[in-house]
Structure 1
Amino acid sequence: MANSLMNNKLHTKITLLSLILLLYPLVTNSYNPDYNLAINCGSSKNATASDNRTWVGDNFDPITYIDQKPIYNPLNITKVPYTTARFFFSNFTYSIPINITNNSTVFLRLHFYPTSYQNFDPSNAIFSVKVNNNLTLLKNFNASLWLHHDDNGETIIKEYCIQIKPNENLLNITFIPYSIDESNRYYAFINGIEIVSMPSFLYYSDLDDLNYNIRSVDTGTTDYKIQKDKALEMVYRVNVGDIQVPPSNDTGMFRNWDNDYPLYLEKQYPYSVQNDYGDQLNYLENTIPNYTAPELVYLTARTYGLDAKDNYNVTWNFEVDSSFTYMVRLYFCEFEQEIKQVGDRVFQIFIDNTLAEEYADVIMWSGARLVPVHKDYVVTMYSQEGSSKIERVNLSIKLQLLPANINNKRYFRDVLLNGIEILKISGKNKNLAGPNPKSIALPLPHQVVSTQSIKKNKITIAILVVIPFLGLVLVIVVGKTVSWLWRRFHGEREDNSKTKNEGSLSLPPHLCRYFTITEIRAATNNFDDVFIIGVGGFGNVYKGCIDGSTPVAIKRLKSGSQQGANEFMNEIELLSQLRHVHLVSLVGYCNDDTEMILVYEFMQHGTLCEYLYGSNNHPLPWKQRLEILLGAAKGLHYLHAEVKHKIIHRDVKSTNILLDEKWVAKVSDFGLSKVGPTGISTTHVSTMVKGSLGYLDPEYYMFQRLTLKSDVYSFGVVLLEVLCARPPLVRDLDKKTASLVCWFQKCYDEGVAIEQIVDPFLRDSITGECLKCYCKLALSCLHDDGTQRPTMSQVVGDLEFALQLVVSEEGSQFGKAEKEGRYMKGPQFSQFMSDEESDLHFVRSHTYKESTLSAWPSSQEHPFSEIPNPRPRSYSCQNLKVYI
């Protein structure tokens, strides 16, 4: 098979030589790889990464094989190797010489940055990857489908453990674009390739070590072995304790250790345990080498939680492919001073809801405090329906307190875990490839009929269809005539010049006004860039003029997006039936000439976001902010309670609260909206996670259970945005302050002075009583338990009360001394957030990457001319949607 592949015209091979420059020593690490190659694909030059690691260009003819730079780079990614990429329309192999004397096991990492490149549609990047022509790593892989959220600079890394046989001197990595015929142009691409040698028995079984074993969760035996005929895929590598360990801080093998919350940890209780005693790990009493995991993994951990009073399992959830066997490695190290001997801390471990360890005692395993240890397990995952089709299923890891009836008075009723690794094990068919996390429809080869076959059957087909065709033509003519008369009778305008393409959408004509593409082009001067007032992942927004004088906002969706098409149809069906003073009205739509366009009423002052941060607009006074929030809350209350079928907006955020010429707030963008739960016994809608990062309800994110209270949580984030004048997520800040919700909670818990929380513009205009009311409302909206959050009706009531406080304060006459006594001039959080009856709780949010796209610019100067210029604001308004 290898010879036939080499002789294929569409197959090309390159050999990378002169690798000596890349094999530099890593003196600060506990493992020095014998082989360390990093390839900067699509570049003819070497590049140095931020960690001083050299990435070599792949150096071959760029005319034959295309090298590209991202044309849409929302975060201005400058990190090697994501600044360039290599593209292939036919099979292509990297043949890399591997000269390792003492080691035959390597890490292979494939780096992908799925974004827009010149003349390349990301949806057509569908390909497979094989190693040495016999091991399948990826099949019909599309990197865009692996993104947690769209167009935000997220990169995808696929990591494998590959065995190099003694008689093999080359590692062949073959990229195979999906192919049907010349009319279907799919392609493959790659940004970077890493090959790093690894210790022989880091994950593989040492058959000579009689003390090492892997416990099978399925059978309960300990005789399972991972031998060198297997390949492994690293699916998850997590540092338990909410601290990420980047590749540069690994033990020399450039592994990345993700933080565990909130992506994987089901519920967080304060606090993650961390070693503060300055002790050093003790490897002398243990057989585990010091390169097995970084020290930071062993010195951070999760326990049961200091303030946890209810009985629960500490649980991590990981989505994996069914029909594969997985190695689960759990890392442990007792570093708390109170835990000194066997029996001090004992707990149980469940993997995939099966008891894996009935009596887990880390001191018993390791022999002493501060001695690292790990335990390995294997579990086979099956599809939920029992079918042979590979599906995505949940693999859970649960730590449970030892049952109280076990007779041991000495032990602490607590649990401990420091790190998790989950690796997929290849089967007999030499395959590691699973499905994409989101479905993708591909034409099958047998569906393609050759031109020659069509010619041979022309006469037969004509004979078979000519008679019924005549009758069909008659029916169509009559039907078209009746349809034309009907439309003419109802005054629907026809444009004889249009070439309408209905595509896959069938839009009911009675929902709202239909615009032809000719009318839309006339309204925007053929989509002239000067009329662009907004840009987002969906496409451009133009200011247009219809019927001679009516201003409108015209949202032109990007072509070819099935997700966009679904949102397009959803928004038409919803908004055409909803009318409320605090909802943006849909004027009409266009589904013509492959275009999907929505036409809205024009909102003169743009988004709420751009009056908080990210623009040069004057900041809004406190009273006006409350009025805007009250209007938006009324709009959401209408969706939740005043329509026939409850509607969950699912994308509440400050950029979706628009302001008209009178500064009236209106909720917009219903592309992700969903009809809420129906029936008395139904509490939620089970659906995949969609929304905007930083605003997602943690319960919805973790369990895919969407409720009306999910909107309430998102609105709570908006409340903090309005108060603090900063985005929910700021990647450039340190971890403690990057998340607005976490930062606010930390300040609340620690009693930080109010000057560090509230927008400085508001400090002299918001009173203590109003601030107390407002913060209590925000905290209640952000409760980690959705059932404890208020309804939007209650939110409306609380905002009306806060606004009434402002009105009363403005109407009262009091002296300067009284004013200085009442206004918040630097109090602590504890002084106004300590009501005993309050059961308010913050849920910690996760820090995601943030877009730098700008939102709608304002076209008119702010009317509050007496307001001084605010401090410079450098944040971005735009938040990207997430599809998981």
Structure 2
Amino acid sequence: MVKMKLVKCVHLLLVVVLFGSMVLESSASFVPVDNYLIACGSSQNVEFLRQIYAPDSGHSSVSLKSQGNSIVASSNSSTVPSPLYQSARIFPATSSYKFDIKREGRHWVRLYFYPLPDPGHDLTSASLTVITENFVLLNNFTFQNYNGSYLFKEYAINVTSDNLILTFIPSNDSVAFVNAIEVVSVPDELVPDQALALTPFAPFSGLSGYALETVYRLNMGGPLLTAQNDTLGRTWENDKKYLHVNSSAVNVSVSPANIKYKGAVTPDIAPNWIYATAETMGDANVPNMMFNITWVLPVEPNFTYFVRVHFCDIVSSSLNSLVFNLYINSDIALQSVDLSTLTSDLDVPYYKDFVSNSSAADSDTLTVSVGPDTKADITGAIMNGLEIMKISNEARSLDGLLPVETLLPVSPSRKNKIGIIVGSVAAALAALTFIYFCYCCLVSRRSKTAQQGQGHTWLPLPLYGNSQTMTKMSTMSQKSGTASCISLASSNFGRFFTFQEIMDATNKFDESSLLGVGGFGRVYKGTLEDGTDVAVKRGNPRSEQGLAEFRTEIEMLSKLRHRHLVSLIGYCDERSEMILVYEFMANGPLRSHLYGTDLPPLSWKQRLEICIGAARGLHYLHTGAAQSIIHRDVKTTNILLDENFVAKVADFGLSKTGPSLDQTHVSTAVKGSFGYLDPEYFRRQQLTEKSDVYSFGVVLMEVLCTRPALNPVLPREQVNIAEWAMTWQKKGMLDQIMDPNLVGKVNPSSLKKFGETAEKCLADHGVDRPSMGDVLWNLEYALQLEETSSALMEPEDNSTNHIPGIPLTPFDNSISMVDGVTSGTDEDAEDAATSAVFSQLVNPRGR
């Protein structure tokens, strides 16, 4: 009997030790730098889920500012959901909490609301609006339209300053209130900057510039997990109520101690309790066992959602015995998933991130499914966890379409200022309107006496063409006798083509002459009457985005002339058509000479000359006009090559006028191409010329490594070329990832200077990046090093790239960046007639 008791005690001790080790494993990985747990309106500390919440008054790092006197409400009633809801701070007027932030980055912002009974206010009908400096979190929320008794909201917000301000705004003659607030640091790796977008299937970059709201966090096949079981204080609920068919899934579980974390997956991504349970295929009562397990999740329409799926093969007894597909809505997100191949073992966690941008106005659900791969002979599927987070919209809101600025109340002094400004602007507009009217009358009178062959200035084009207006302003072509053109000699804006001339040039838009399709429409190769090959860009009337870019390109190209920028030949504006005509570029986009085609590889000297040409074009954009122009879409498909491989920058549809002399940046919505976007621009929505410099740095690495800027099929650390190449550059081993066709054919000093230049371009902060003039100077120096090496290299020595007898001293970085260098300024005065085409010529998917 004593022996049996002893065995039981030993077993119990082992269980306690095992449980303790699991708790330690799941709780000791991350310690938040900022960790504010605030019980609003409370006069003492409150314990909730083994955490201590401090009162909001008298806190050294949290300050409360209110336009009116706030009110404290409290209750000890047994109906209150938890101790955290027993007190509340009520705001009759706009009020805010300011939190001191010690470390910038993602933070949890968690808000707790429960309408306590208060004799002076009906909190059930209170209208809540909560905003930060940059995002709308809640807008006019009221418990009258809510089925629950209390409200818990969790947000992930990227804080980029030394404080975070949460503002509570009462509306509709009501009050605002809050019971508790959490502001807690989040590990940098928890929320990535990139994910895989669906419909269309492409990388999605720049998540750090958005706010996220937790909508669902599910523990598949497992129990409710609270902050006590999660290293980051998250709550995971059971998935059963979201299953489309309950019998289609069966719960499975193993001991959490079996879970083996490897690589980038840590308990901070999800606790081992999540990976130790799962849903697998059950009996869906259907004749075909190739069915899917589907979860149906109600969501708010017109928002994009961040979706993270968690997998861990805890059911297989051997490797490669479970192959399945993952579907999000109607899209196949992952095909032929073999977890043991991805993780090289069983019981190893794996997760994948997606952005589902298919939630439309008529869709209020998001579905996630797993099912057997029909190509495999194995029937089975598994899912361990699922997280869904709403992504802030274009108005930087997570609740509605009103931006932060419109929700802030206007003070009386501010109203007076606004009234003065509005009055002044109105008076100025009235004066300008009168002047413009007089000018139009004068122009109209002069046009009646003008000769028939006189040219006209380029007028702003309407959204769709106006054939009558433009045809009346056309002149008779001396060559054909039709209304065709204003000569290049008499106008800097190009020739006006009739639609019939465009039809003849493209053989009625013959599909065999199609060069590419973009967001604006289609691009065709055409031949004019004199035999000149041209590229014809035909706008799609149903593509508003394409037409907006179309108009921007006209406005930009009408002002720009440079040897290394594309030049416009003419346009057509008849029969509701909007068409641009460019000279044909014989060698197409730079990208087609780097990868994806059978074209012969470029030599190192050719690549340097192409990069120098593109840099000259961008340098002219930034400095050659009265006000700088930021291209905003620099990439290898927008660098075109003529018959002599002279590089020209193309596609100005996203271009933006740069900041004026008294500004440091232009505040604008983020636009560009995945993989090339300046991370600082994405975080702050502040555009500068240095944003082009960053994109050009990506181009430099693309030219050297001959691979796409983003390649989601590669291992995680290799997906982004900028990050991957920088790890090798910092080790001084850039030659290990360069194009194999260049190995043994590049002077090491030239490669070193090229790598240093790209590294400076790819600096995280714009202030640390060089100007395009500096980049140009360094690339020209790299070319000189290469040419000197080629000229002095002994013919019989083919085993090395060094210059025999002449050691090349690395150039001093302290003097390599020289301002005011005459880098390509002589090019600005060269002949403006250059070859041109579009970035989408060989890119059928366009931007």
Larger RCO: 1 or 2 (CA < 8 Å, sep 6+): 1
Please tell me whether Structure 1 or Structure 2 has the larger radius of gyration of its CA atoms: 2
TM-score (norm 1): 0.44
TM-score (norm 2): 0.46
Indicate the structure with greater helix content: 2
